Amino acid sequence: MEELLLKSTVKVAQMSELTDAERSLVEQAIEATNRSYAPYSNFSVGAAILLKNGTTIMGCNQENAAFPSGICAERSAIFAAGAQYPDQPVIMLAIAARNEKGELQEEPVSPCGPCRQVIIETETRYKQPVRILLYGKKYIYVVDGIRQLMPLSFTEF
């Protein structure tokens, strides 16, 4: 049996090292955490995406007592963008989260598996990677494309 080594590249940055557009998107993701409806997990997640035309769409997690009926912040933003601007590629995605005390997470929060698959589908749809900014108070992970977080996928662009 052969072993396959998979590598991912994730940059670690401070807010001051981000571009103006990146900082603005992270700030909007942080703002979106305040719009979250998370009475069951008490984990409020916000997302903001930047489209090619310069439009920004925010999303936040929306929970429901029937757990499959809720939606994550990343997917709420991506699906809203697809509904409103279907011809506009997603250029960048920022994600932030607050804990049960309402405090921003110290460490960056990464997308769940279903959100990763939706981001893969978004990259496939528009045939380009999505730059991902995962916010934490200590530092921000900067990822050039979802395949860095999910290297084995069943779609390609």
**Going by C-beta distance under 8 Å and a sequence separation of 6 or more, which residues neighbour residue 150?**
113, 116, 117, 120
- CA–CA gap between residue 70 and residue 105 (Å, rounded): 21
State residue 30 phi and psi, 5-degree precision: -60, -45
Q: What secondary structure does DSSP assign to 133-156, as a single string?
A: EEE-SS-EEEEESGGGT----S--
Structure token pair of residue 106: 């110290």
Helix axes 73-84, 20-33, angle to 10 degrees: 110
74 is catalytic: yes
Query: Which one is catalytic: 22, 63, 74, 123?
Result: 74
Residues identified as active-site:
74
